[in-house]
Chains A and B, each alone.
Chain A
Amino acid sequence: MITPIRALVRKDILLFLADPRALIMSVVAPIAIASFFGYALGGAGSQVEPARISVLVADQGGDSISREIVKRLGSEKALAVKPATADEARAAVRKGNASVAVIIPQSFGQNAGQAFFSTSQKPEIAVLYDPSHAAERAMVQGILSGDVMQVVSQEMFGGESGRAMLKDSLARLDRSQGLLGPDQKNLADLLHSVERWNGSPPAAGGGISRGLSMPYTTREEAVTSRQGIQYNGYAHAFAGMVVQFVLFLGIDVGIGLLLQRQRGLWKRLRAAPLSRGTLLGSRIVSAAILAFVIVLTNFLFARLVFGVKVEGSLVGFLGVAAAFALMTAAFGLLIATLGKTPDATRGLAILATLFMVMLGGAWVPMFLFPQWLQKVTVIMPTRWAIDGFEAMTWRGLGFGSALLPIAVQLLFALAFGALAVARFRWEAEG
Chain B
Amino acid sequence: MSVLLTGGKDRRRYVTPAIWSPVRQAKIMLEVRNLKKRYGSLAAVDGISLKAAAGETVGLLGPNGAGKTTTVSMIAGLLRPDTGEVLIEGRPLAGDSDPIKRRIGLVPQDLALYDELSALENLHLFAALYDLNSARAKPAIESALELVGLSDRIKDRVKTFSGGMKRRLNLAAALLHDPQILLLDEPTVGVDPQSRNAIFDNLETLKKRGKTLLYTTHYMEEAERLCDRVVIIDHGKVIADDTPRGLSRMLPLSNVLTIELESVADGLSLDQLQALGEVRSAQLHGGTLRIGVRDLATETPRILQWLVDRGHPYRHVVSERADLETVFLTLTGRSLRDS
Q: Which residues of A contact B (CB under 8 A)?
A: 1, 3-4, 6-8, 10-11, 14-15, 18-19, 263-265, 267-276, 278, 427-430
Size class of B's contact patch?
Answer: 35 or more
Annotate B51-80 by CB proximity to A: 1 below 8 A, 0 otherwise: 000000000000000010110011011111
Partner of A15, one of B99, B116, B124: B116
24 contacts between A and B (CB under 8 A): A3-B133, A4-B131, A7-B124, A8-B125, A8-B128, A8-B129, A14-B117, A18-B117, A263-B110, A264-B109, A264-B110, A264-B111, A267-B73, A267-B108, A268-B112, A270-B77, A270-B78, A273-B101, A274-B129, A275-B97, A278-B97, A429-B73, A430-B45, A430-B69
Across the interface, do A3 and B132 meet the contact criterion of CB distance under 8 Å?
yes
Q: How far is the CB of B270 from chain A (nearest CB, A)?
A: 35
| A contact face: mostly helix, strand, loop, or mixed | helix
Across the interface, do B104 and A271 meet the contact criterion of CB distance under 8 Å?
yes
Chain A hits for B67, CB < 8 A: 430
Across the interface, do B101 and A272 meet the contact criterion of CB distance under 8 Å?
yes
Q: Which residue of A lies closest to B183 (CB)?
A: A271
Q: How far is the CB of A286 from chain B (nearest CB, A)?
A: 12
Annotate B104-121 by CB proximity to A: 1 below 8 A, 0 otherwise: 101011111110110001
Across the interface, do B117 and A267 meet the contact criterion of CB distance under 8 Å?
no
Across the interface, do B108 and A264 meet the contact criterion of CB distance under 8 Å?
yes
Chain A hits for B73, CB < 8 A: 267, 428-430
Across the interface, do A273 and B96 meet the contact criterion of CB distance under 8 Å?
yes
How long is the Cα–Cα vector from A362 to B209 in the complex, in angstroms?
Answer: 62
How long is the Cα–Cα vector from A428 to B75 in the complex, in angstroms?
Answer: 12
Chain A hits for B132, CB < 8 A: 3
How long is the Cα–Cα vector from A42 to B232 in the complex, in angstroms?
Answer: 74
Chain A hits for B215, CB < 8 A: none
Chain A hits for B76, CB < 8 A: 267, 270-271
Chain A hits for B114, CB < 8 A: 11, 15, 265
Most chain B CB atoms below 10 A, which of A8, A268, A428: A268
Q: Which residues of B contact A (CB under 8 A)?
A: 37, 39, 44-45, 67, 69-70, 73-74, 76-80, 96-102, 104, 106, 108-114, 116-117, 121, 124-126, 128-133, 173
Q: Which residue of B lies closest to A15 (CB)?
A: B116
Q: How far is the CB of B335 from chain A (nearest CB, A)?
A: 23
Q: Which residue of A lies closest to B136 (CB)?
A: A3
Partner of A268, one of B44, B45, B79, B108: B108
Chain B hits for A270, CB < 8 A: 76-78, 96
Q: Which residue of A lies closest to B75 (CB)?
A: A271
Q: Which residue of A lies closest to B113 (CB)?
A: A265
Q: How far is the CB of B134 from chain A (nearest CB, A)?
A: 9
Name the 5 nearest CB pairs between A and B, nearest first. A264-B110, A7-B128, A430-B70, A272-B129, A428-B78
Across the interface, do A263 and B117 meet the contact criterion of CB distance under 8 Å?
no
Partner of A267, one of B78, B97, B126: B78
Q: How far is the CB of A313 from chain B (nearest CB, A)?
A: 38
Contact status of A273 and B98, CB under 8 A, knowing A4-B131, A19-B116, A263-B111: yes
Q: How far is the CB of A274 from chain B (nearest CB, A)?
A: 6
Q: How far is the CB of A285 from chain B (nearest CB, A)?
A: 15
Chain A hits for B124, CB < 8 A: 7
Across the interface, do A430 and B37 meet the contact criterion of CB distance under 8 Å?
yes
Across the interface, do B44 and A263 meet the contact criterion of CB distance under 8 Å?
no
Partner of A271, one of B45, B77, B116, B131: B77
Chain A hits for B125, CB < 8 A: 7-8, 10-11
Q: How far is the CB of A259 from chain B (nearest CB, A)?
A: 10
How long is the Cα–Cα vector from A7 to B125 in the complex, in angstroms?
Answer: 6
Instruction: List 10 additional contacts besides A275-B96, A430-B45; criterion CB under 8 Å.
Output: A11-B121, A263-B110, A263-B111, A264-B112, A265-B113, A271-B78, A278-B97, A427-B78, A430-B69, A430-B70
Across the interface, do B78 and A273 meet the contact criterion of CB distance under 8 Å?
no
Q: How far is the CB of B133 from chain A (nearest CB, A)?
A: 5
How long is the Cα–Cα vector from A276 to B97 in the complex, in angstroms?
Answer: 8
Across the interface, do B131 and A14 meet the contact criterion of CB distance under 8 Å?
no
